[in-house]
Amino acid sequence: MSKEKLAILGSTGSIGTQALEILKEYSDRFEISALSAFNNYRLLAIQANRFKPETIVLVNPDHRTEFERLLSYKPSEILFGKESLEDYAVSGEYDLLLNSLVGFAGFMSTYHALKRDKKVALANKESLVVGGELLSKIDAFKQGKLIPVDSEHSAMLQCLTGENHQDISRIIITASGGPFKDYTLKQMETVTVESALKHPNWNMGAKITIDSSTMMNKGLEIIEAKWFFGLDVDKIVPVIHPQSIIHSIVEFIDGSSKAQMGPPDMKVPILYALTYPERVDYPNETLDYRNRYQLEFSPVDLLRFPCLKLAIEAAKEGGFAPAILNAANEIAVERFLKKEIRYIDIAKIIETSLETIAGDKLSGPEALLTIDEETRRFANTLLK
Ligand code: MG
């Protein structure tokens, strides 16, 4: 069997590094055709020297010379600049693309890879959040070539394998609730950057950790689930499950439910996405059911988590609303991390952006780009 050529976009991030950790064990199955990083050229060089991809993309060219000096082999190409990620998706030689880019920048790579009929393991939420409508029209998408890496959607896919989608009655998407699940509205007013960056269960990047604390992350995941499984937004129900052991539940029309469970560890969904529909051997940790476990569930309070409420509304509205939601949120989170705005201002910036900005016709990726840029400019002017 010839090896599958795997390109990893965003290889120095949390998903990328965990994927490479797994891939050390699977050099007989995968050949790494490309690795990419935005800034972290030192780690990128270490990864490249270990896996020897033909193509390396370093988006920020500031440390170009130093980066090239750190390489111990000669790749076929080293690309720099923001456009090179898209260029690679358009013309690179790969069979499977692991898209773990952060933010809307990742959409174009997913789009082009699917257009070329390639498989995409998707860890970039924005691809579907912003561009779900466009992606869902591509043949490769309809043939199931877009495979989720996110733990919740991986859980849904695993529960749905072997089932008919018409038989779904609802999907329960679980949420840890983040560090502020028990905070009052008053306490939310005083949340600091430092406290928001501490997630109780999952170890992730800064943007997604903040999104997780505001529950915007769950909102984005509801939009993703809508597209992944072709469901009405009302059929996707968020529920707080603080232990993060059940990663989601699918309820069927006959009253039966299937849940996927395991310790919170992204390596499980990463591995499943890379080898789907097969399962392969890997020493991931499992639950020891001889221990006493408490599995709790509680409803989500949309009043205390306005970001989630806005996301659900945007999901229902469709069109440009999810793109505006996403861009405004990215800017608001960035500004919160820079301590320019308060924690509770994140939702205000998103809400004002959704009320103010309107798109024309969702004709293609360019229309999304325009709305994305317009929203970012606008969201940056608010609460100054
Ligand atoms: Mg998730």
Cα(15) to centroid(ligand 1), Å: 12
Q: How far is CA 259 from CA 48, 155, 170, 283, in A?
A: 38, 7, 12, 21
Q: Which of 90, 144, 132 is nearest to 113 (CA)?
A: 90
Q: Which of 48, 49, 56 is nearest to 78 (CA)?
A: 56
Same domain, 11 and 103: yes
Domain finish residue from 103, 123, 148: 148
Sign of CA dihedral 116, 117, 119, 122: positive
Query: Which amino acid makes up residue 320?
Result: F
Same domain, 22 and 131: yes
Cα(236) to centroid(ligand 1), Å: 14
Residues with Cβ within 8 Å of 329's Cβ and at least 6 positions away in sequence, in order, are 211, 216, 307, 346, 350
56 within domain boundaries: yes
Query: Which structural domain, as residue segments, surrounds residue 236?
Result: 163-266+298-318
Domain finish residue from 113, 148, 183: 148
303 within domain boundaries: yes
CATH number at residue 9: 3.40.50.720
Same domain, 114 and 168: no
Same domain, 138 and 210: no
Per-residue pLDDT of the chain (384 residues; tens, 9 = 90+): 689 999 999 999 999 999 999 999 999 999 999 999 999 999 999 999 999 999 999 999 999 999 999 999 999 999 999 999 999 999 999 999 999 998 888 999 999 999 999 999 999 999 999 999 999 999 999 999 999 999 999 999 999 999 999 999 999 999 999 899 999 999 999 999 999 998 666 666 788 889 999 999 999 999 999 999 999 999 999 999 999 999 999 999 999 999 999 999 999 999 999 999 999 999 999 999 898 889 999 999 999 999 999 999 999 999 999 999 999 999 999 999 999 999 999 999 999 999 999 988 888 999 999 999 999 999 999 998
Cα(158) to centroid(ligand 1), Å: 15
327 within domain boundaries: no
Walk across the sheet containing 96-99 and list its strands.
Answer: 77-80, 55-58, 30-37, 4-9, 96-99, 119-122, 146-148
74 within domain boundaries: yes
169 within domain boundaries: yes
Cα(54) to centroid(ligand 1), Å: 31
> Count of residues for the chain?
384
Domain finish residue from 98, 115, 148: 148
Cα(209) to centroid(ligand 1), Å: 10
Cα(74) to centroid(ligand 1), Å: 37
Query: Which amino acid makes up residue 262?
Result: G
3-state secondary structure of 171: strand
Q: How many domains are contained in the chain?
A: 2
Cα(241) to centroid(ligand 1), Å: 13
